[in-house]
């Protein structure tokens, strides 16, 4: 095969389809080609250094050159590189990982099922729920409730559960999915509406949705403890307690999507612990391997597992799985990643530095462009507005959040624009000094973009 030549940026554009990439920025600026990383920093092919302010995609929490994780993967590759978990087969690292997950679960759980991603895990949960209800003689329980602006993945079913407008590009969601309100108090509360009254309105709306669709037709409810790709939206006080009461009343299983929140991001080991959620099923991914291997997992309560096994009797098996699910290399890395998080100081560091992160985040509330600075633990978002009083965003053609992300890149910081917000979720190893470095850049970037927007407006006038 003839070797290609030329700039990596040009070769990427010529050969690769870039998902979730702003087409204008990709056309005008080209892709960023990252070749190596050290700690919280990554370096491009021109040796420019960037703070990775989003841990890759929330997941690379131990940094980009953790030798312990690399060695764990290498040793397992040498010993036994690949296998499956079909037909009653298994491997030692997968068993150890399942045991470890059950031992640290936010509520008592019974069994673990491995997938290759969070999207696959959420898809698998839907199949489990459908099979469970069929086995209980309730085949009509096919409908699913998710939330507007929630995110659960990109496969067909997980995308259907994702309450984002862009999924209409694929003709989604599927008809079986229905959406409850987005619990963003700052954005969606009515004028003068208290937080408690807002929660009550959302709970009433959920109950009305369930009644309208028929409680005996609903298979499950999916929710992230903190909406991640929805813009880091923590729930209002009392929200999950009230929501769970409604779900219990109608006997609807609660699926906690801990893909982003799980293993420490919220300042507790689980988002469920942060918000007193008692789920029937938990979905994990991302931090499970600290981003060093693609993996997802489902934790089933004893009740859910027993019902699933009852449904399996007709087929003499659970007829579902993935070739790479429970891969021994991935599981070996995950075991070591959880050890680093829980016993190796990563989670302790999150607890130690999160107050400084939140202090600096909220310190930007006074900036003229910031309508809301919100977050919890080591995750946060800045909602960008043109008018702080009315909460009105900038006109869409200005693409201000995209401008902020591009300008941050020029200043050596990678952050992510989502709608009218920019989000931050640095690696768990970040220090207090590096947090200050990160937010000093953000502050300068906001000033620069504000000046540019005002100059453009003056020129247009």
Q: What is the pLDDT of residues 320-352, one digit of tens each?
A: 999 999 999 999 999 999 999 999 999 999 999
For residue 30, which of 47, 9, 53 has the smallest C-alpha distance? 9
Q: What is the mean pLDDT of residues 68-83?
A: 98
Q: What whole-number distance in Å separates Cα of residue 156 and Cα of residue 176? A: 12
For residue 326, which of 84, 72, 81 has the smallest C-alpha distance? 84
Q: What is the mean pLDDT of residues 175-189?
A: 98
**Cβ atoms of 371 and 391 closer than 8 Å:** yes
Q: How is the chain split into domains, by residue range?
A: 32-65+345-460, 69-342
pLDDT at 1: 67
pLDDT at 330: 98
Q: What whole-number distance in Å separates Cα of residue 235 and Cα of residue 385? A: 21
Instruction: State pLDDT tens for residues 361-406.
Output: 999 999 999 999 999 999 999 999 999 999 999 999 999 999 999 9
Q: Which residues contact 373 (CB under 8 A, 6 or more apart)?
A: 361, 362, 363, 364, 365, 380, 381, 382, 383
Model confidence at 4, pLDDT cuts 50, 70, 90, reads confident
Q: What whole-number distance in Å separates Cα of residue 9 and Cα of residue 85? A: 39
CATH 3.90.190.10 fits 32-65+345-460, yes or no: no
pTM for the full predicted model: 0.96
pLDDT at 461: 63
pLDDT at 63: 98
Q: What whole-number distance in Å separates Cα of residue 113 and Cα of residue 311? A: 16
Q: What whole-number distance in Å separates Cα of residue 44 and Cα of residue 135? A: 53
> Helices (H) and strands (E) in the chain — how many of each?
16, 15
Q: What whole-number distance in Å separates Cα of residue 142 and Cα of residue 119? A: 19
Q: Has residue 3 got a pLDDT over 80? A: no
CATH class in words for 69-342: alpha beta
pLDDT at 454: 87
């Amino acid at each position: 095969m003839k070797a290609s030549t030329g700039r990596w940026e040009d070769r990427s554009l010529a050969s690769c389809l870039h998902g979730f990439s702003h087409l204008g920025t990709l056309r005008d600026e080209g892709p960023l080609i990252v070749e190596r990383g050290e700690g919280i920093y990554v370096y491009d092919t021109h040796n420019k250094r960037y703070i990775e302010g989003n841990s890759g995609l929330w997941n690379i929490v131990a940094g980009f050159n953790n030798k312990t994780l690399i060695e764990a993967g290498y040793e397992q590759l040498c010993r036994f590189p690949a296998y499956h978990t079909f037909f009653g087969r298994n491997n030692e690292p997968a068993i150890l990982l399942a045991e470890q997950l059950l031992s640290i679960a936010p509520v008592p759980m019974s069994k673990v099922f491995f997938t290759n991603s969070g999207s696959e895990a959420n898809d698998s949960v839907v199949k489990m729920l459908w099979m469970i209800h069929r086995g209980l003689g309730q085949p009509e329980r096919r409908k699913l409730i998710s939330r507007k602006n929630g995110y659960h993945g990109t496969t067909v079913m997980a995308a259907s559960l994702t309450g984002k407008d862009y999924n209409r590009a694929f003709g989604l969601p599927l008809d079986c999915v229905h959406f409850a309100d987005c619990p963003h108090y700052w954005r969606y509360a009515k004028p003068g509406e208290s937080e408690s009254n807002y929660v009550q309105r959302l709970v009433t709306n959920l109950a009305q949705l369930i009644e309208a669709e028929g409680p005996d037709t609903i298979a499950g409810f999916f929710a992230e403890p903190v909406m991640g790709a929805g813009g880091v939206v923590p729930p209002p006080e009392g929200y999950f307690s009230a929501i769970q009461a409604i779900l219990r009343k109608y006997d609807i299983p609660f699926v906690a999507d801990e893909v982003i929140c799980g293993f420490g991001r919220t300042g507790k080991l689980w988002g469920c612990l942060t918000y007193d959620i008692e789920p029937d099923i938990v979905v994990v991914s991302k931090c499970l391997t600290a981003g060093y291997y693609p993996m997802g997992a489902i934790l089933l309560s004893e009740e859910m597992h027993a019902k699933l096994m009852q449904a399996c009797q007709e087929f003499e098996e659970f007829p579902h799985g993935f070739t790479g699910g429970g891969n021994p290399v991935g599981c070996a890395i995950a075991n070591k990643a959880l050890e680093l998080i829980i016993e190796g100081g990563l989670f302790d560091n999150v607890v130690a530095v999160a107050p400084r992160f939140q202090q600096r985040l909220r310190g930007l509330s006074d900036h003229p462009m910031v309508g809301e600075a919100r977050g919890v633990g080591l995750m946060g978002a800045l909602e960008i507005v043109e008018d702080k009083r009315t909460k009105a965003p900038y006109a869409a053609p200005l693409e201000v959040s995209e401008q902020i992300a591009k300008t941050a890149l020029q200043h050596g910081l990678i952050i992510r624009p989502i709608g009218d917000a920019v989000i931050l979720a640095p690696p768990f190893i970040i220090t207090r000094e590096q947090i200050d470095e990160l937010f000093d850049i953000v502050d300068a970037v906001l000033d620069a973009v504000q000046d540019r927007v005002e100059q453009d407006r003056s020129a247009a006038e």
